[in-house]
Chain A
Amino acid sequence: MTKATAKAPWVVHVNCNSCNGCDIEFLACLTPMYDAERFGVLHIGTPKHADIMVVTGSVNNRNARVLRNLYEQMPSPKVVVAMGVCPATGGIFADGYNVIGGAEKVVPVDVFVPGCPPRPEAMLDGILEGAKILAGKRQNSVTVKPVRRIKIVRPAAPAADPAAAAAAPAPVKEEAK
């Protein structure tokens, strides 16, 4: 069972306060070009079936409750993967009056995938890292104490395209402030 879960993590996608950039990139992960399903990753609509929750976007006053609720509906053991800089720190929107901050303010996050938005390859790495943590949690689930490891997945190197390599987008720097 442990082995099976790590090889076929079911993923529920929660859009909190995202600008859509990470959402469409996450959906692109599931489509033929990146094909997350070759790793057994299945995207499903309901949190009650899910092992991994993918959070995009920062948390605001209205969706904090929704996020918490969805997290609680997931069966244990469960893993939360935060996609992009917004669920990590609030990203470019951190100054907003309605933004509480990253997803960690509401739910425990296991894997952070930085980027605005992260490349689909980095997102896949993040989900697979989450699957490993999930397998570990399942092994330890006999003991009451949950094991939490926080690991930051660096985005994969850009494709060997000179135009892509030359583009160090300025906005990313601004967000880091």
Chain B
Amino acid sequence: MSTIVPFGPQHPVLPEPIQLCLELEDERVVSVIPVVGYVHRGLEKIAEKKDFIQDTYLIERICGICSFMHSMSYCMGIEELMSIPVPPRALYLRVIWAELHRIHSHLLALGLLADAFGFENLFMQYWKSRERIMDAMECTTGGRVMLSSCCIGGVRRDIDENQKKFVLDQLKEVEKEVTSLNRTMMEDYSVKQRTVGIGVLSKEAAYAQGAVGPTARGSGLVMDHRMSGYAAYRELAIEPVVETAGDCYARTMVRCREVMQSIDLIRRAFAQLPDSELKTPFKGNPSGEAVIRCEQPRGEVLYYFRGNGTDKLERLRVRTPTFANIPAMLTMVQNCQLPDVGVIIISVDPCVSCTER
């Protein structure tokens, strides 16, 4: 005899509204049906009403956590449609801001995971370190969440020597703090009790269900779209962070190690930062079709553009990483215990406002 329990939309462990209808046999989850649409704004349609330059700022608001990466992917798409070359310095600055966003997103996710299994102190400590990254972003762009520093053809502002020093100082502190926090996350007995062997996703299942990002890499798939070398990633050698166990612990490990990788990337990007213009002026309107893929903190994002030569796009489609991870998430939740559902969901790091746009 099974019972159906609604999980969400308002639930202490979920920062965002999504509902999972869990079919339970005692405490075991038999099947699960997701109910989405609580954050559906119809953003793709709004993008067709505004012109393509205004869209840069609209697209940024798909998600506040990876806002810069969204605007970067959008600008890359328009640049490809209109064949606008981007100056090399702008490409490096984009990498720097994108990696700052990745660090802040991963620290946020690690903190929320700690909160999900009731380790509030660790949550607070991760978020304390994260504030340093927010300060670095505010210092370089003026915004904490919405950077608005990416524009079509390049970037809007430069990072000068003082700002560079501030960012690097903050990164040094973050590296020190996060190294010790990661030790707790990786080695603490009670943390391991909640994460090791929970919500296992096999490599084959991850591939077949189209999982992306840390969810896929935690299951042993070598898949990081930065390897394809967009922006300045081609010149910055990247080794994807891969774990093989496929459980909550492995996904968490991927995030812990990617924070360190991103810190290293920013340092190398600063060291190689070339001198050039910041943006290329352009004329005209986009026409034709293009597809752009980028690696966000949660995985690969796909943008489809269709322009018709007017200042408004005919169609803009965004397939966000969490949208691809939901089928995998459903597999993980099956056959687990009810108290683990929260931890499993947070270990995927779902971003519902991305998913529903």
Query: Could you tell me which A residues sit within 8 Å of B by CB distance?
Result: 14-25, 27-28, 31-33, 44-47, 57-58, 60, 62-63, 66, 70, 92-93, 95-99, 116-117, 119, 159, 161, 163-171, 174
Interface pairs (6), CB distance under 8 Å: A15-B39, A19-B62, A20-B353, A60-B38, A60-B41, A96-B43
Residues B119-171 near A (CB distance < 8 A): 123-125, 127-128, 130-131, 134, 138-146, 148, 157, 163
**Other 20 A-B pairs with CB < 8 A, given A20-B65, A33-B127, A92-B57:** A14-B10, A17-B39, A17-B40, A21-B145, A21-B146, A23-B15, A27-B15, A28-B134, A62-B37, A63-B17, A66-B38, A92-B61, A93-B42, A96-B42, A96-B45, A116-B146, A119-B144, A164-B139, A165-B142, A169-B146
A105: shortest Cβ distance to chain B, in Å?
Answer: 15
- Mark each residue of chain B from 263 to 293: 1 if its CB lies under 8 Å from any CB of chain A, else 0: 0000000000000000000000000000000
B72: shortest Cβ distance to chain A, in Å?
Answer: 15
A100: shortest Cβ distance to chain B, in Å?
Answer: 11
Bound form: Cα–Cα A119–B93 in Å: 24
Q: Do A20 and B46 contact each other (CB < 8 Å), given the known contacts A62-B40, A117-B64?
A: no
A-B pair count, CB < 8 Å, reads 156
Bound form: Cα–Cα A170–B60 in Å: 12
Q: Any chain A CB within 8 A of the CB of B296?
A: no
The reply to whether B12 and A45 contact each other, CB–CB distance below 8 Å, is yes
A71: shortest Cβ distance to chain B, in Å?
Answer: 11
Bound form: Cα–Cα A47–B10 in Å: 9
Q: Do A24 and B145 contact each other (CB < 8 Å), given the known contacts A31-B127, A31-B128, A174-B57?
A: yes
Bound form: Cα–Cα A32–B139 in Å: 20
The residue in chain B whose Cβ has the minimal distance to the Cβ of A95 is B46
Residues B40-91 near A (CB distance < 8 A): 40-43, 45-46, 49-50, 54, 57-58, 60-65, 67
Bound form: Cα–Cα A22–B63 in Å: 10
Q: Do A171 and B148 contact each other (CB < 8 Å), given the known contacts A15-B16, A19-B61?
A: yes
Q: Which 3 A-B pairs give the minimum distances between C-beta atoms?
A: A167-B142, A45-B12, A21-B64
Q: Any chain A CB within 8 A of the CB of B108?
A: yes
The reply to whether A163 and B41 contact each other, CB–CB distance below 8 Å, is no
Q: Do A171 and B146 contact each other (CB < 8 Å), given the known contacts A31-B131, A92-B61?
A: yes
Q: Do A24 and B65 contact each other (CB < 8 Å), given the known contacts A45-B12, A60-B40, A119-B144?
A: yes
Q: Any chain A CB within 8 A of the CB of B338?
A: no
Q: Any chain A CB within 8 A of the CB of B241?
A: no
Q: Any chain A CB within 8 A of the CB of B351?
A: yes
The reply to whether B39 and A32 contact each other, CB–CB distance below 8 Å, is no
In which size bucket is the chain B interface? 35 or more
The reply to whether A24 and B54 contact each other, CB–CB distance below 8 Å, is no
Query: Could you tell me which B residues sit within 8 Å of A by CB distance?
Result: 9-13, 15-17, 37-43, 45-46, 49-50, 54, 57-58, 60-65, 67, 108, 111, 123-125, 127-128, 130-131, 134, 138-146, 148, 157, 163, 351, 353
Q: Do A93 and B46 contact each other (CB < 8 Å), given the known contacts A19-B64, A24-B64, A171-B60?
A: yes
The residue in chain B whose Cβ has the minimal distance to the Cβ of A33 is B131
Bound form: Cα–Cα A163–B163 in Å: 9
B125: shortest Cβ distance to chain A, in Å?
Answer: 8
A99: shortest Cβ distance to chain B, in Å?
Answer: 6
B97: shortest Cβ distance to chain A, in Å?
Answer: 13
The reply to whether A22 and B64 contact each other, CB–CB distance below 8 Å, is yes
The reply to whether A93 and B43 contact each other, CB–CB distance below 8 Å, is yes
The reply to whether B351 and A96 contact each other, CB–CB distance below 8 Å, is no
Bound form: Cα–Cα A23–B112 in Å: 13
The reply to whether A97 and B145 contact each other, CB–CB distance below 8 Å, is no
The residue in chain B whose Cβ has the minimal distance to the Cβ of A96 is B42
Complex interface: chain A residues within 8 A of B42 (CB): 93, 96-99
The residue in chain A whose Cβ has the minimal distance to the Cβ of B9 is A66
Instruction: Indicate which residue in B37, B45, B49, B64 contacts A20 across the interface (CB closer than 8 Å).
Output: B64
Instruction: Indicate which residue in B38, B146, B351 contacts A117 across the interface (CB closer than 8 Å).
Output: B146
Complex interface: chain B residues within 8 A of A119 (CB): 144
Most chain B Cβ neighbours within 10 Å, of A18, A19, A70, A174: A19
Complex interface: chain A residues within 8 A of B124 (CB): 31-32
Complex interface: chain B residues within 8 A of A174 (CB): 54, 57
Complex interface: chain A residues within 8 A of B38 (CB): 16-17, 60, 62-63, 66
Complex interface: chain B residues within 8 A of A57 (CB): 39
Bound form: Cα–Cα A92–B41 in Å: 10
B154: shortest Cβ distance to chain A, in Å?
Answer: 15
The reply to whether B139 and A163 contact each other, CB–CB distance below 8 Å, is yes
Bound form: Cα–Cα A93–B357 in Å: 10
The reply to whether B63 and A20 contact each other, CB–CB distance below 8 Å, is yes
Complex interface: chain A residues within 8 A of B65 (CB): 20-21, 24
